[in-house]
Structure formats: C-alpha cells, structure tokens
Structure 1
Amino acid sequence: MQGRKVLLAAAVAAAVFSSAGKANAQTPGIVVENGETQEAFNYAGAVRDRVWVDSDFDSDADGLADKIAVDIIRPAETNNGLKAPVIMDASPYYSTLGRGNESQLKVDDASGLLQKWPLFLDNYFVPRGYAIALVDMTGTNHSTGCPTVQDATDNNAAVDVIDWFKGRRTAHDKDGNLVPAPAWFNGKTGMIGKSYDGALAAAAAVTGVDGLTTIVGESGPYDYYDYTRSNGVIQRGGHYVSSLANTVTDANRQAYCKPTRDKIDANDADATGDFTTPFWNVRNYVKDAPKVRASVFLTHGMGDENVRFDHFSRFWYALQDLGVPSKAWLMQTGHVDPFDNSRAKWVDTLHHWFDYWLEGVQNGIMSQPQVSVETSPGVLTDAASWPVPGTKQTQLFLKPGAELGLAPATGAEQTTTFQDSASQRETAMLANPTTVTANRRVFLTPPLSAPVRLSGTPTVQLDASADKTSTHLGAILVDFGPAFPRVNRATGDGVQTLTTTSCYGQASAVDNGCYKDVGERIDTTTTAWRVTKGVLDAGHRTSRNVTTPIVAGTRYPFSFPLLPNDYTFPAGHQIGVVIVGSYRDYGTTASTTAANITFSLKNSRISLPIVGGDVAARAAGISGGEPTTTTVADTGSAFTATVAGSAPAASPLPADLMAEALNKADFAGFTKLDTAGGAVQFLDGGQPLGAPVPLVGGVATLPVPALSGGSHQISATYVGAGAYAASTSAEITRLVPVNSTVGGSVPATLSLVLGAPATFGAFTPGLAKDYTATTPATVLSTAGDAALTVSDPGHLMNGTFSLPSPLAVSFSKAAWTAPVSNDPVTITFKQHVDATDALRTGAYTKTLTFTLSTTTP
C-alpha cells in the first residue's frame, strides 16, 4: 500500500514537470516545492552507463594500471541539457557480501549494463534529478587489480572517478572506446556508504579532491588501526586486514591476489600490536581531517561491536575542532544503516541534506539542530551539538569499600589487588557486583536520586602496578538497577527484519524500490547493563607506536579511553565501574601472564562526561567531596576568599594514545585537582552579597560594594566543585561609619563698632604744623566680602569759621574677602595748620559717617 502511494505521487510530479517541459523543452530542470526536489523524471526510462576509469596505480603489480568500474544511472533528460549532481557509493561488496539489510548484489542485464541496483538511492533520487554512481572498489567485481583494504589503491578509486567526472582523467567503455567526461555533470558529488563504503567516503574527503561536495559516512572505520587494535590490545589478529581483502575479492581471483595479501601480512605488526608507519597511517583518516573540504554527515550505532562508536567520535571531534560543516545521527543499535532504524525520517533528512549541498536548495537543514540522538528505543532527540551542550568531564574516584564518589578517600592511601584471568567472561565480570571476587574489582555510587546523563568519551586512570612485565587492563561502565526497555544490541545488532515492506521512489520492471521493514529488538530483563568499556595493553601505555614493557612492581598512571556513548542512568540505579585485566569478550586477544594487578584507592579515577557536570552528579546524590577550608579577608578595597584542600592531581594523558580519542578541550583540560575550582558566594549577615565569584588559583575576589553604615558580618561559602566539598568561612567584621547631622543658622550681620572720638589737642596759632589723631574700630561681617568707607571729611569747623586745609582720613584695613569676626581697624585722622591760618578761639569739630558694606551678603 505504501509503495502505491509513493508511485502515485511520482506520477503526479512527473505530470507537473511534463507540462512545464513543453514550455521550455530545451532546458529541462529540477522541480522544487516546499524546500525539496520533487519526482519529475521517469525512473524506468533512465539512462544507464558503465565505464572504466583509468587510474595511475597498480595494486596487483601486474605492470598495468588498474581500471575502476563505475555504473551510472541518470534521468534521460540529462541527454537534453539537464545538469545533475552525482550521489556515489564506492564499495567492495557489490559482488560478494552485498549491500543493505537484504545483502543486495549488483545484477547485470544481457547487454552488460547494471539492471538491479542495490539500495534505494537510485529509485528515490533519480526521479528527483540526480545521477547515481556505484563504484566497484579496486580489485572487486568489474574493477581490475586486487583489494588492499583501504591502502592508497583502494582509497583513490573513488577519487579517480570524481576526477573523471570533472574532466581530469580518462575513461573507456567495455569496448575500449574513450568516454569523455559527462557534459551533464553539475560539478558536485556526494559520497555515501556504510561500513567499508563509509570509510572510502572519508578517505576521499581527506584528500580534499575538487568535485566532492559532501559525504555521508555510515558506521565507517575511520582509523583501521583502531579497528583492529584498541589501545595496543589486538582485537582482530590473525592478519585480519588481508583476511578482509580476501573476503571482498571474487572467488575466481582470490588465488591470483594472494601475493598482494602476503605483502599486507608482512607489514601489519600483528605480533606486537604496534602502530607501524606508513602501513597504518594511510588507513587513518582522523589525522588528515584538516584536509577535508566537503561537508560531512556521520551516522553510527552507539552499540556497534563491528565498527565501534569511537570511530565516529574520533572523526567527529576532529571535524568539530576544525569547524567543518557537519551533522550527526546517532542510534542505540549496532552496525545498522539508519535506513533500517527510523526509515521515513532518515530518508527525509538525507533528501534535504543532498538537496542543500548538491542542488543548492535552501531548505534550512543547516539551521536545524546539528545532532539527532536516539535517547530511548525509537525516540530521536535533537541537540545543538555532541557531546550535548552542558556536558562536563567529571572525575569519580575508586575508593575503599567499593565506593565510587566525587572525591578520593581521606587518610592514608589504601590499595587493592586482583589477578588477571584470561578466561573470565563479561557475564562474570558484571554479576553480583557487591561480591568481591579474585579477578575483578567493582565500585558503585549510591542509588541515584535523579537521572544522570552521559554524553561523550569517558576516561579511566589507574594508578597501578603489576607483578609481571606485561598485562592487559580493562574497565567497564555499568548501569546496575531494575530493567527497563533498551535496544538489545547483543542480538542482531539490535534489529530484526520484519515481514512487512515499505517502498521509496519509483520502480522499474526489475527493481520495485521496496524493502523489508526493520524493527528494533528490545531488552526488558537486564539488570546489569554494560554502558561502555575499554581496554589497554600496559606496554602501549604511552604510545601505540611501540611496545615498552613495564617494570614489575613499579607504579604507573595507566590512562585509557572507554568507548563513547550517550546514555542516561535512571533515578534509583547505581553507576558501577568494573576493573579487570584481560577482557576476552571485548573481542581482543587476552594477556597470558596472569599478572597480579595492584592499584591505588586514592589516586585511581574515572572521568565521566556528565551533562551538567559535578553539579548534576551532586544533585543525583553521588557522594564525596574533598574537605575544604574557606577563609575570608578584608583588604580594604576588596573581600577575598581562599579555598584550601588537598586532592591528588590527575596525571597528564599520553598524547599519542589519547589525543584523537578526546576533543581538544577535554584532552587539554583533564582535571588537575591540586587547586579547587568553582565559585564562592560572599555573604553579609548570612545574605548573598552580589553574585557568586569564580575561583582563580583557589582565590575569589569581590571588590567591596557600597555598604550601609554600621557593622557588617562578612563570610564566604564555597559551593563545591569536582572533588571538593562545600565549606563556609568564619565571619569577619567590616565597620562602616554612621553620619549624623547637627546645624544652626547665621543671620546676615555687618557690624562696625567705633572707639572713643579722636582729638588733635590744642592748635598753636602762627605755627605751621601737621596734627594726627586715631580712634580704634572693630569689624564683624558674615558676608562673603566687606568694604569700609567714609563720607567726604570736608573741613573742621568752629561755628562759622573753618580751617583752610581739609581733614584727611585713612584706614589700617578697609576691605575683606571673607567673613570676619571682631577684626580690629585703626582709623587715622590728619589735619594741617599753616603759620598764616587765622584761628578763632574755641573748638574745631566735624562729624563723619563711616559705612561697612558688602556685595555678597
């Protein structure tokens, strides 16, 4: 029924395009409605091509350059001017293991052209104006040469095909005729593929080849050393690389390609697990991420035991650090194509991704949340990035009493010893966590009072020694608690094929575009759920390049990453860490030394990427906190709070082993616990004084704010962070003066007080003489200024008689520029009498007027 609906929609879309085509038959084009390309071209009438692209390499050393076969299907309108982008899937599986959940193989028709095309890409995208190119990887199916499992000769196959599309390389048909670069190509290629195919897409991307616009990598191994080893422990021994090369080689060429495989065996370092260069370098695309020029859409199953989830995270971290346009789709399943997870939503998302990057359709996909994470079976939750925002690496310590907490044990250091067992199975490692056994150690948090979500890559650091010169170490992060629905990745990669089918795109007589539906397998019984795990070969503790034996009895900081995950521990469950030696169910070879391993219960720890960090851990009831002492001081201009505590610092992480396993920030910032971090809340009388102040070097500084007058009791509370517990200081007193106002008023006053009247005494007639007299005065003024003046003195008078010479008056001080009080002034009088002046008997007098005035009362 669903298929009929899709085909009916296709017929309508084709009719719409056909009508438009009559208006401009010379230039057919795509049809875009509602932000996506529509079915406007006929799949059954599409053009099919097969060409062989000429390479420059010779993988089988036969003296002839290899030829890469590529099958192309494209709308017939490309012969009449339609420009089409290419969606390419380069694969070694088209004639051996097949593609997709139903293991579809390429099937040719009688003329030697591809008739049955694996997967849905052709049915869905060709009617929307795309060309599909399926490339037979070097040495597989119709291509010549021999597979080398992602050596340069494998990886360059797709690159050479892109070069041909762009006109930089030659190609021929089955008869040897030169085939020119296609005129219909719009210049943009998008590669897609799962597993090996996804790695080939990444390998092409890290060349920076012009013409590769985007890749969609699905569960690809992006570092083949990490695919066959894990931190120096061999996961896939027995010359796995050459074994895979044999698997993807057609049966009739396997014997012929044996010399090529022998050369692989001679360089894989299976005997030591070392990272031999250049054998593994060419198969590591993470280190070459800076060369990527295409956008990248990665999908992966977090429960993938074939290509483990750290292949995604390592490549993803590198791309994010570089700012490469990217998107991610993360599932709880194992090695599964998202087409077999959330099919309808995946096809819709993939459609919009290719439309945007290859056809230039502005559909908003790059403004949508960057990541979709399956947070519970069948539920996809969007996030702005991954690890999700707010995630912080939070260290939990392995402590005596099987405790797992936010701080190391106090007091003298204790240790614990267990013996490595090469035969111990994972079921035994996880069973009965509170029972001490000889071959493991288990550490538990209290039951959680709130959910705790992890998002990212955990790291274990064991401060340990062994009584042998070599051993393995393993760690398992476990959710202990009542069962609840989770994807059962242990069986069938967490999925099962159903009896129903769904159809995508258009059909032809031999390809109906219909596929069996797939459902998730759900576990509802497990009470000890392995969340993630990790292993380390002690000889590769600092480098994967070379084995360095340990010295028996010598303590080392053994650091190694666990596989990343995005997982929520429910409330009521316990977070558990299981420490073991060999871990055979990891898929690795086991150590044969049966070493006794001793590790510190003070310095050993696991760093978990917790959403919300230590704040969320504390809120969930995870106990611990190194005791701290907070002291507060008053410097006059600022209050300071010093937080002191003691906790063992984490040892630096080995760069060669772990730089690619973590994002740059987590690697560089692996917590150093010798100085408290976090913030301090200053208090005034028990009430918050401003906002919390971050600690810098263990000290928080708050400039003294405006305080009211009186006595203030200042203290500081350290809120706790990481391994440090909260603490509050004693109070100190800050006295702020209290202002009080007293006043009075001054009336305006200008006062001049004169002393006794002045007298010259007796004038002597007939004698020329100057007579002088004085009188004191006192000035009082509240004005801003004052001036003392006298009226015109005139002449001394005796009745009607006057002295001929005028009376003169002067002041010792006559001006003031500020208020004065009782300021003394001497007034001097001077009178001249000449020898010829006629003097009349009696008293000569004169009344004068003195004035004290102001301009600023």
Structure 2
Amino acid sequence: MNDKTCRKPVFENGMAQPVFGFTDGKTGTDYDPETSEIVRYSVYVETDYDMNGDGQRDLVKAFVQLPRSAAEGGYRAASIFEARPYCAGVNADGYDHMKEVENDEYPPFDMDSLKNSPAPRVPEGEMTALECAAKADPSEWYYPDEGNDNAMCYEVLDNYNYYLVRGFAVVFSAGYGTRGSEGIEYTGSDLERHAFCCVVEWLHGDRKAYTGPDGRIETKADWSNGNVAMTGRSYAGTMPFAAAVTGVPGLKTIVPVAGIADWYSFLNQQGAQRYWPQEMLMSFLAYFCSSKYHDPEATEADLKRIAHFHQQFSMDQLQCGFDYDEKFWGEGNYTRNADLKCSALIVHGLNDENVSTKQFEMMYDTFVQAGQTVKLLLHQGPHMTPTNPQKNQGFLIDGMLYDDILNRWFSHYLYDVENDAEEMPNVLVQSNVDQQVWEKADSWHTEHSVMLESREEGSTVLGTDWADAGIDAGNFDRQMSTKSSSMNQRYLTETLTEDLTIQGSVRVDFTAALESGDAPDFGGSNVNGADKLSALLGTASGRMDDVKTTVLLVDLAEQAFDSFQTVDDARNVVNTEVVRKGGIPNGGGLPAFDEIAFEPVHETYKVITRAYLDLCNPASGYAPETAAEWISLTKGEAHDYHVYLNTQRYTVKAGHRLAVVIGTEDPVNCLLHKNYEICIQDESVRAELPVTAAVTGTMDLKK
C-alpha cells in the first residue's frame, strides 16, 4: 500500500472531494490491474430463481469499479448502482426481428416455470475483491456490441468517473437474460427487479456472489460499507424505484431520472395507446435488452427458450389489448403495496414525451404516502439527464452543478455526512418563462384550482380523416393548437389578465358518443408499418378497443413567444446550445464538460400537456387499474369521461389564452389508423387546473 492507494474519502462543505486518482478502464493498454488507482472486476450474483431451467439458481453479472484504497482495505466504500438492462449490449434490429418472427409458431410457454427456485450453491472457496481485480481483463466489460453494429458495450462506463475520484464505488448490472448473466429479461416483472435487488443485497452483505459464471468461488463485497444508492435514466431510472418499493436492506436512497413508475401507464393511457406504435409490445423491449443472444456461453437451448418466452409474452399482452389487466400489468405497477424505507430525489424533464411526466408524480406520491423524504428536480428538457458525460455537456441547476447536488445527497445518505441535503427545496423547477430561474415549492400538490367551463351549446362531430384535417406526424401539435378542423375542436378562454401557474395534473371532463364507424375494428390500417403481432394489439382480444380521443391543453398568443418544446416528429428533441465551453468542472484531473442551455422555440402556441383516452373506457381515471373496465360503444349512446393530462408545471403569461383541445387520432402514437366519428357535447366540456395561487372565478370556454 502506498500514499496513492491508502487514501480515504474527504468531505468538505458537505461534499466528497476529488482526492482519488483515476485510471481509464476501457483498454488493456491503459488499464493495468496491478497498478490502476481504480480497480475493476466482474462478479456473478446468485439469485433465487432458475429461469433458464438448468436446475441451478441463475447468476447475474455485475461490474464493479472502485478506488484501489477501498479494495486494499483502506476504507469501506459506499456504492452507486446503476441497474440498466442496456449496458451489456442490445439488439438494435428489434423492428426487423419482430417482422422476422411474426409468422413463427411456438408451443405454449409455462410462465410460472420461471419462478422455480432450487437450492442455493455451496461455494468451494473464496477470493477477495483485490484478487478478483488482479485477474480481471477489460474485455469482461468493454467489448463490441454485436447486436448494435459493434458499438461498445458498457457505454456508460465513464458516466460516474466524477464519483470514483471522490471515493464512491460504482456498480453496473444489466440483469437477467443479458450477456454474462443467466435467465430471461422479463420486462416489468417481479423477476426483473429481483435480480437487481440481489445485487443490492450482495453489496449489503446479505447474498452470495461468485468470481465466475461457473459459480464455484465466492467473493464478498469486502470493501463495501453496505450503503447503496441507485440512479440512472429511463430504464435505469425505473429499476431504482422498482427495487426501492421492496424495502431491500442497504438501499439508502434513489435518484431516478425519467423513470417509469407503472409500465401500463408508460405504454397506455386510460385504455388508449400512448407510445410509439412499433414498440407497443413489451416483448419488443425484452428482445431489445436480450444481449444473451450474443453471449458466447449461450446454448441453442437457451436461445430457443428465450424465443418461446418472447412469443408467449406477446400473446399474453395481445389478450389485454390497450386495457389494464391485473395478471399482465399488476407486477409492473410499482406504486402499489410499496414498502419504502429509503429517500428519493426524483429528476424529470417537463418536455419528456418518452416517459411521461405522470410517472414522476406517481413516484412522488408513493414516497409521500410512505412518509419518506422525497424531493423533485424538474427541468425544461426532454428525456435526458442534466449532466451527460457521453456528450461531455450539462446544464446548471439553479446555479449549481448537477453532480455536486447528487454528491451532497449521496454523501449524506451513504456516508452520514451532516450537510444541508435534506434542506433543499421539496420541489425545484426550472421556469418555462426564464430558464435561468428555478422556482421552489413546499409540495407538488397545490391547494388551489381554476375551473374552465364551456358556454357553448350544441355538439361537435370529429372524425379521423388526416388528409381532410391537413395533419401528419410533423405538424400535429401546430394544427391541433392553432385551428379547429374536422379532427379537433378548440375551446378557448378569454385573454388572461394576470399570470397563471399550473402545477399538477389537469383534469378535462366531457360527454361524448360514437357517431359513426364500422365496429369493432373500424377498418384499421397499419399506417406506421408495425409488425403483424403488434398490429394485432387491440383486435386480438376480440373486443372494441382504442377508439382514441386526444386531449391537449395549449398556451396561445396573438404574437409569437418563446417556449421550450420538442422539435422532431417523434417528440424527443429539445434543441440545446453551448453557452460556456468547459463550464462544468469535474475535478480530480477529469476533463470539464460544456455548459449548455435550451434553445427556445418562437411560436404562437405551446402544448402545455396532453393525454389520450379510449372512449370504450368511460370508467377509467388516474389510477391505471381503472382502465380494466371496458364497454362496446353503441352509436349515439353518450358517456361521461374524465381525462387526466400528464402532470406539469407551467406559467401562462398575462395576455395569452388557454385552449382545451379535443381531437381524435394522433399520427405519432397511432398503431391502427381507424375510420370513425365521435360526437362531443359542447356544453359538457370542463377542465380543472391545479394552480399555485388562488384565482377568483371560473373562466369561460368558447369555440
């Protein structure tokens, strides 16, 4: 042990300081396990289940990085764990693959067999972390991704270098059914999150792991202080919440970024499709993440079993259509029966159209109900993390570095550092009016609301003729916002005389009936080229399904104004610009990142929030399980509907107007383009807007 490797974490001003050396771990040339100040190695954590049916409990690979000092026993390190099914490789040919297998027939797959639980292994010996690291080679964690045009696996390898030089350990795992791991990637299931909970348990000292996939020699996390934080974006922001609700010991805090709280609500909304049509089957994502297909250790029997599973997974979802089904979707609703024992700092972009903003609200509410500490950090970006090491850029959070905020948070919860982490605002939101301003609130839910009520009489008939309405995927928001057409009706307020800040989930009520159309499938055509199996979603169940209504809340002005919104057809991109080269320092000799800002769009409209509803689900509401009840529509028979738009914080400026827009199909999220008409009773249209301050009176809505 020398002066470079006997260091311990140093905390100043409530944060861990960059006192550890860094060595890149990507190549054998630069990485020498005997001298590297950051050591790296893989372990194989034993789970409880035998998903691959070989009579032994499956092992899940985890990749560990930590300062050598911790591996040598100089101190006990806390762990930052990213559970990310993509990191071991992906199958980027998902669209083509779905079409390749759409005509294949498989025997029924016994889904219950995945939970067989044989006796655990008995170790034949033991090896220390330092011994594991000494024999490790970068090819274990940095190798060509055969399923993604040989892009490199563990592409997030450098995402946490900031924390490594400050004394944290960093752990990755792709979970079941990925390269290096056994089992099957079963998106949204209890089994999926179980694998990641097992990694947390190993770090906490409660579970065995082995040095290799043969499962003979045990290795303990002998460097760990037992405290774990989980973080990551998207799928990697979903699994922290999924694990946290189990109450797994050792998990002290989570920082989910753009994560999913409920898989049904991710793909569907109140009985209607809300996601990209080609990816509506959960089996698509399961296949995308199944890097086991490119694992040299995978047998033909393994791959055949996975293919059989994917087919059964598809068939089970087809029977649900777009409606909620407890057997299929229940395990993926992590908000129910939660046993939370940790804190959370939840991060989400208010212009995220991939993982809807409703997901962060569901997470937040679950923590509040459990009485656990929870904070919200909300920005004006899309599906992104405030700091992106892969692009070497990031933006400031109320004048602070994002990683410094997390550093303070992790130092408090993982190293018991007394700082002001828990004193940060409960809600911190980047303003949509001025991105340099960050607004604060004590709670996400407000005590005030504004009612918008239609003063129109009569009715409006809306159809689904895209050409007649002059809409397509690229102009949908503009056309729906700026004029009424044969596909949409706008109900507008008068000009606002003072600023109005909306915060929470807007509810829109209306009464509607099916006007015309050939039930039950309404002549649906596969306009977006989805595979045959996906195209059956909504019809294979044999019932009327996804008679879609799209509802928007829009900010309108006579003159163009600046707003933050997506600029691409898929609604994924908010443009950014570099405002300061090297403006995001990382310390510890690591390169600085560029500071960026969001580029505003100069338009006369901005879609504040949106939602979808199937007219066949009049009983549906906010909770996903309410979409389990469905009806077959009868022409002319009206029903009352209550649509919950995705949660939002947005300030409408004085001089602007609000528009409640009710339409039919959205070409961006349309699996089958159908021919039908619906009739809206104009006088029934109402909207309840949660707002941050009391506003007197009710606002009228007029066409």
Q: Name the TM-score, length of structure 1 as normaliser.
A: 0.62
Quote the Cα distance in structure 2 between the aligned partners of 1:378 and 1:307. 22
Secondary structure of 1:544's aligned partner: helix
Taking a change above 3 Å as real, the CA distance of residues 495 and 68 of structure 1, as seen in their structure-2 partners, is farther
Q: Partner residue of 1:472?
A: 548
Structure 2 counterpart of 1:234, from 267, 270, 273: 273
- 1:610 corresponds to: 691
Opposite residue 437 of structure 1, the aligned amino acid is S
Find the counterpart in structure 1 of residue 384 from structure 2. 336
**Closer, same or farther in 2 for the Cα pair 1:573/1:228, shift >3 Å?**
same
How many residues align? The count is 568
1:442 match? 490
Q: Match for 2:511: what amino acid?
A: D
Is structure 2 residue 264 aligned with structure 1 residue 225? yes
Helix, strand or coil at the partner of 1:595: strand
Query: Which secondary structure does the structure 2 equivalent of 1:266 belong to?
Result: helix
- Structure with the bigger RCO (C-alpha within 8 Å, sep 6+) is 2
Q: Which residue of 2 aligns with 1:54?
A: 46
Equivalence map 1:363-374=2 (5 Å):
363-374=419-430
Distance 2:136 2:682 in 1: 68
How far apart are residue 114 of structure 1 and its match? 4.0
Supply the distance in 1 between the matched residues of 2:565 and 2:690 (Cα, whole angstroms). 23
Using the TM superposition, name which of 278-287 and 238-247 deviates more. Answer: 238-247
Alignment of 1:384-533 (within 5 A): 384-387=441-444, 391-400=447-456, 414-421=457-464, 423=466, 425=471, 427=475, 430-431=478-479, 437-467=485-515, 471-481=547-557, 482-491=559-568, 493-496=573-576, 504-506=586-588, 513-514=590-591, 517=594, 519-533=596-610
**Structure 2 residue identity aligned to 1:478:** V
- 2:13 aligns with 34
Q: 1:136 aligns to what?
A: 174
Q: Comparing both structures, which one devotes a greater share of its residues to strand?
A: 1
Shift of 1:520: 4.2
| Residue 633 (structure 2) aligns with | 550
Counterpart residue number, 2:247 = 208
Q: CA deviation at 1:61?
A: 3.8
Aligned with residue 325 of structure 2, among 276, 279, 284: 276
Letter in 2 for 1:192: T
- How far apart are the structure 1 equivalents of 2:348 and 2:640? 32
The answer to whether the 8 A contact 1:73-1:122 is kept is no
Deviates more, 1:351-360 or 1:439-448: 439-448
2:80 alignment partner AA: I
Q: Kindly tell me: are residues 283 and 188 of structure 1, through their superposed partners in 2, closer, same or farther at Cα, counting changes over 3 Å? A: same
Partners of 1:130 and 1:522 lie apart in 2 by: 35
Aligned-residue identity in percent: 23
How far is the alpha carbon of 1:294 from its aligned partner? Answer: 1.1
Shift of residue 435 of structure 1? Answer: 5.8
Deviations 1:153-183 (A, max 9, x none): 2211110112222332211112644234223
Structure 1 residue aligned with 2:183? 145
Structure 1, unmatched stretches of 5+, are 1-16, 99-107, 401-413, 508-512, 625-857
Q: Deviations over 1:764-804 (max 9, x none)?
A: xxxxxxxxxxxxxxxxxxxxxxxxxxxxxxxxxxxxxxxxx
Q: Distance in 1 between matches of 2:247 and 2:484?
A: 54
Distance, in Å, in 2 between the alignment partners of 1:168 and 1:434 is: 59
Could you tell me which of 265, 272, 287 is aligned with 1:246? 287
CA contact (8 A) 1:50 1:173 kept: yes
| Cα distance change on mapping 1:111 and 1:311 into 2, 3 Å | closer
Structure 2 residue runs of 5 or longer lacking an equivalent are: 24-36, 92-134, 143-153, 296-301, 389-393, 520-543, 620-625
Secondary structure at 1:124 match in 2: helix
Instruction: Give the whole-Å Cα distance in 1 for the aligned partners of 2:158 and 2:592.
Output: 8
Which secondary structure does the structure 1 equivalent of 2:444 belong to? coil
SS in 1 for 2:560: coil
Q: Secondary structure at the match of 1:280?
A: helix
In the alignment, residue 342 of structure 1 is paired with which amino acid? F
Select the residue among 556, 563, 573 that pairs with 2:656: 573
Which of 80, 83, 86 matches 1:90? Answer: 83
How far apart, in 2, do the equivalents of 1:48 and 1:584 lie? Answer: 47
TM-score of the pair, normalised by structure 2: 0.75
**The residue matched to 2:612 in structure 1 has which SS?**
strand
Which of the numbers 676, 679, 682 marks the counterpart of 1:597?
679
Take 1:554 and 1:230, find their aligned partners in 2: how far apart are those partners? 23
Cα contact 1:466–1:553 (8 A) shared by 2: yes
Q: CA deviation at 1:18?
A: 5.5
Structure 2 residue 196 is matched with structure 1 residue 158: yes
**Alpha-carbon contact 1:369-1:382 (below 8 Å) kept:** no
The answer as to whether partners of 1:218 and 1:299 remain within 8 angstroms in 2 is yes
The whole-number CA distance in structure 2 between the counterparts of 1:435 and 1:378 is 29
Residues 72 and 133, structure 1, Cα contact 8 Å, conserved in 2 = yes
Partner of 1:710: none
1:428-478: CA deviations, max 9, x gaps? 675497865333221111111211111111001102323357632221111
For the Cα contact (< 8 Å) 1:59–1:260, is it kept in 2?
Answer: no
2:147 matches 1:67: no
1:262 to 288, 311, 315: 311
Listed one character per residue, the Cα deviations across residues 706-741 of structure 1 (whole Å, up to 9, x for unaligned) are xxxxxxxxxxxxxxxxxxxxxxxxxxxxxxxxxxxx
Deviation at 1:600, TM superposition (A): 4.1
Q: Which moved more, 1:63-72 or 1:156-165?
A: 63-72
Aligned partner of 1:43: which letter?
F
In the alignment, is the contact (CA less than 8 A) between 1:233 and 1:588 conserved in 2?
no
Deviates more, 1:180-189 or 1:220-229: 180-189
Counterpart Cα distance in 1 of 2:14 and 2:617: 52
| One-letter identity of the residue aligned with 2:556 | F
Distance 1:579 1:176 in 2: 58
CA contact (8 A) 2:463 2:677 kept: yes
- Superposed displacement of residue 264, structure 1: 1.0
Which one-letter code corresponds to 1:359 in the other structure? Y
What SS is found at the alignment partner of 1:361? coil
Q: Is the 8 A contact 2:576 2:599 kept in 1?
A: no
